[in-house]
Amino acid sequence: MSINKTNKILLIVVIVLLVLLTGFVIVRELVGKPTYTAVYLKTGDLYFGKLVRFPYFGLKQPYLLQVNQTNQQNPLSVQRFKNVFWGPSDILKINRSEVVWYTTLRDDSDLAKVFTENPDLLPAAQPQQAPVQQQPVQPEPQTEENN
């Protein structure tokens, strides 16, 4: 009888802990104000979004920083990841070993304000660049000089 009673108490404790943990996660997600994180990868890419650590490492509602070296007046732009021309989902899972650094943006930063005020950065609000069409490269004819 003692073992059976101990198992019941242990089961009740585990259930209570699970309920508390679930409640904490729900309150944190629903009530907590959104904070944005910058994630810099080994590839040189810089992404912004809401950091997720479980069940995967990544960003919800990610944005990407794009550099346009041909535009001297405005060489940087930020675009919502889901709005790029190939249509990815609104979640970016990141291989943790590829992260160089990440940091939380201050709520009063200009970029955090842009994300909060215009979370979708729709193509109507931010012009999207069309994909660049590349011309196929024609191989040079083989001559004795090229060999």
Q: What percent of the chain has pLDDT over 70?
A: 70
pLDDT for the residue 52: 86
Cα 145 to the center of its chain, rounded Å: 51
3-class state of residue 91 by DSSP: strand
Give the Cα separation of 60 and 89 in Å (integer).
10
Q: Are residues 48 and 110 in the same domain?
A: yes
**Number of domains, the chain:** 2
- On whether both 71 and 42 belong to a single domain, the answer is yes
Tens-place pLDDT, residues 4-53 = 888 889 999 999 999 998 887 777 666 566 688 999 999 998 999 988 88
Percentage of residues in the chain with pLDDT exceeding 90? 20
Within this chain, do residues 44 and 68 fall inside the same structural domain, yes or no?
yes
Token pair in block for residue 47 = 């992404």
Same domain as 50, residue 85: yes
Residues 41 and 10 in one domain: no
- Write out the two tokens for 70: 């041909």
Of how many residues is the chain composed? 147
**Domain range holding 100?**
34-124
- pTM, two decimals, is 0.58
Q: Report pLDDT digits (tens) over 73-85.
A: 877 778 787 777 6
